[in-house]
Amino acid sequence: MQGFTTDDCDTGFSRREFLGQTVCAACAAGLLDRSAAGQQDVAGDAALPGPKIEGVARHEAMYAEPLADKKVRCVLCPRRCEVANVERGYCGVRENQDGRYQTLVYGALCSANVDPIEKKPLFHYLPGTTAFSVATAGCNIECKFCQNWRISQFRPEQVPSTKVSPAQLVKVCRRQRSPTIAYTYSEPVVFYEYMYDSAQLARQAGVGSVAITNGYILPEPLRALCKVLTGIKVDLKAFTEKFYAETCSGHLAPVLTSLEEIRAAGLWLELVVLLVPTLNDSAEEIRQMSKWVVRQLGPDVPMHFTRFHSMYRITNLPSTPVATLERARKIAMECGVHYAYCGNVRGHPGENTYCPSCGEVLIQRMGYHILANRLQDGRCGKCQAPIPGVWSQDQALGRTPAPTSQATG
């Protein structure tokens, strides 16, 4: 996307105005392509197999209720959009056609890449393996710091995409010898139907599925999704309603409910908190968040505190100081979090996994690379303490039990 930066944007625009004025310029310049999320197109055998999509990819949407006058109410995410005939919900990728709700991005992949699983980031899920990562256009919130805004904040007609069925996706993933499909880059909740169908089919083929999500989804569809996924990473944007409302156009409470639902379902869960200077990085907020995580989710849910860099509509703030990440990690561990990490700081000791019982370095990392893995069948190689996580594909697919910690916060 060279030649088009957030410096060109009037950040006072509304979401709709912003898209309307910037998309035309981007399309005219030939800038939108399948790697719009900053990912490289997959080469060779990983090339997406389907045809280019002209327009949208219609498919019946799940979780919609009929209303009077051909209106529908979407009950997939907390927005509960009431959508008039021939209109769309907030996400821009779900449309009412004569009282029938449709998703417009079923199999409409705009980005695909083979990534290290550590890039998601998932540190306790099959370390050292890869995930075949895919996305469609659309999102159900608008983070002002979104790094993938060129696909998440665009409508499907505005992002070149390739039609890939769930069966084709699973086939490509197996050909790449990736044990996992990752639904990522934009917001997989808005392409729920495709994610659900693909994950269900993938599990039957011995392939796992992880969602990299904002957690902005209602309990009923989330519970159904947890039955077909093998792991999930949730971006916990902050621990204040003010931040969610002003910086993400969303609300905190539904995300906390989602986290409790995921934990209750027994699905492997990791959290990422992007620390934005002056907005969500206070010591007190981190402390309250960490206490909530330990109390409601347990001490073994990993927390990744990651570094912000100016992006999209927040270009006036500096990158997060490394000291801020270190402080957040320290606070989380003081509150009882067993696995707290510093992210986006290559080579930092906070990238490593340590045994909470004896302090041994169990997984040593350098960025997305594993330098050493001293786990033995999900246990510390030194003291044999169980280390919670997903350490084998059989475990991911539910064929073997997961290790559980005997330690408490």
Identify the CATH number of the domain in which residue 224 sits: 3.20.20.70
Does the residue 113 lie in any domain? Answer: yes
Shortest CA distance to 103 belongs to which of 163, 156, 60?
A: 60
Residue 4: C-alpha distances to residues 28, 225, 318 (Å)? 12, 36, 20
Shortest CA distance to 276 belongs to which of 246, 304, 251, 310?
A: 310
Instruction: Please indicate, yes or no, whether residues 180 and 216 belong to a single structural domain of this protein.
Output: yes
- Domain boundary residue, one of 51, 73, 103: 103
Does the residue 49 lie in any domain? Answer: no
pLDDT tens, per residue, the chain with 409 residues:
222 222 223 333 344 333 333 333 333 223 233 333 333 333 333 567 788 987 889 999 999 999 999 999 999 999 999 999 999 999 999 999 999 999 999 999 999 999 999 999 999 999 999 999 999 999 999 999 999 999 999 999 999 999 999 999 999 999 999 999 999 999 999 999 999 999 999 999 999 999 999 999 999 999 999 999 999 999 999 999 999 999 999 999 999 999 999 999 999 999 999 999 999 999 999 999 999 999 999 999 999 999 999 999 999 999 999 999 999 999 999 999 999 999 999 999 999 999 999 999 999 999 999 999 999 999 999 999 999 999 999 999 997 665 655 443 3
Instruction: Please indicate, yes or no, whether residues 374 and 254 belong to a single structural domain of this protein.
Output: no
Does the residue 48 lie in any domain? Answer: no
Contacts of 282 (CB under 8 A, 6+ apart): none
Which residues are 305's β-sheet partners?
Answer: 273, 342
Instruction: Please indicate, yes or no, whether residues 248 and 268 belong to a single structural domain of this protein.
Output: yes
Q: Is 317 exposed, middle or buried (0-12, 13-18, 19+ CB in 10 A)?
A: middle
Please name the residue that has the structure tokens 């509304």.
14
Q: How far apart are CA 196 and CA 174, in angstroms?
A: 18
pLDDT of residue 47: 63
Q: Which domain holds residue 392?
A: 353-409
pLDDT of residue 404: 56
Instruction: Please indicate, yes or no, whether residues 229 and 367 belong to a single structural domain of this protein.
Output: no
Does the residue 284 lie in any domain? Answer: yes
pLDDT of residue 87: 98
Does the residue 34 lie in any domain? Answer: no
Peptide bond into 121 cis (omega under 30): yes
- Domain boundary residue, one of 303, 335, 352: 352
Instruction: Please indicate, yes or no, whether residues 183 and 197 belong to a single structural domain of this protein.
Output: yes
Instruction: Please indicate, yes or no, whether residues 67 and 93 belong to a single structural domain of this protein.
Output: yes
Does the residue 39 lie in any domain? Answer: no
Instruction: Please indicate, yes or no, whether residues 366 and 404 belong to a single structural domain of this protein.
Output: yes
Instruction: Please indicate, yes or no, whether residues 398 and 372 belong to a single structural domain of this protein.
Output: yes
Quick one: CA dihedral 34, 191, 115, 209, positive or negative?
negative
Instruction: Please indicate, yes or no, whether residues 403 and 289 belong to a single structural domain of this protein.
Output: no
Q: How far apart are CA 215 and CA 237, in angstroms?
A: 10
**Token pair of 251, please?**
């609300």
Q: How far apart are CA 97 and CA 95, in angstroms?
A: 6
- Domain boundary residue, one of 330, 352, 374: 352
Instruction: Please indicate, yes or no, whether residues 329 and 226 belong to a single structural domain of this protein.
Output: yes
Instruction: Please indicate, yes or no, whether residues 284 and 386 belong to a single structural domain of this protein.
Output: no
Instruction: Please indicate, yes or no, whether residues 272 and 212 belong to a single structural domain of this protein.
Output: yes
Does the residue 160 lie in any domain? Answer: yes
The total of structural domains in the chain comes to: 3
Helix H, strand E, coil C: the string for the chain is CCCCCHHHCCCCCCHHHHHHHHHHHHHHCCCCCCCCCCCCCCCHHHCCCCCECCCCECEECCCEEECHHHCEEECCCCCCCEECCCCECCCCCEEEECCEEEECECCEECEEEEEEHHHCCCCCECCCCEEEEEECCCCCCCCCCCCCHHHHCCCHHHCCCEECCHHHHHHHHHHCCCCEEEECCCCHHHHHHHHHHHHHHHHHCCCEEEEEECCCCCHHHHHHHHCCCCEEEEECCCCCHHHHHHHCCCCHHHHHHHHHHHHHHCCCEEEEEEECCCCCCCHHHHHHHHHHHHHHHCCCCCEEEEECCCECCECCCCCCCHHHHHHHHHHHHHCCCCCEEEECCCCCHHHCEECCCCCCEEEEEECCEEEEECEECCEECCCCCECCCECCHHHHCCCCCCCCCCCCC
Does the residue 386 lie in any domain? Answer: yes
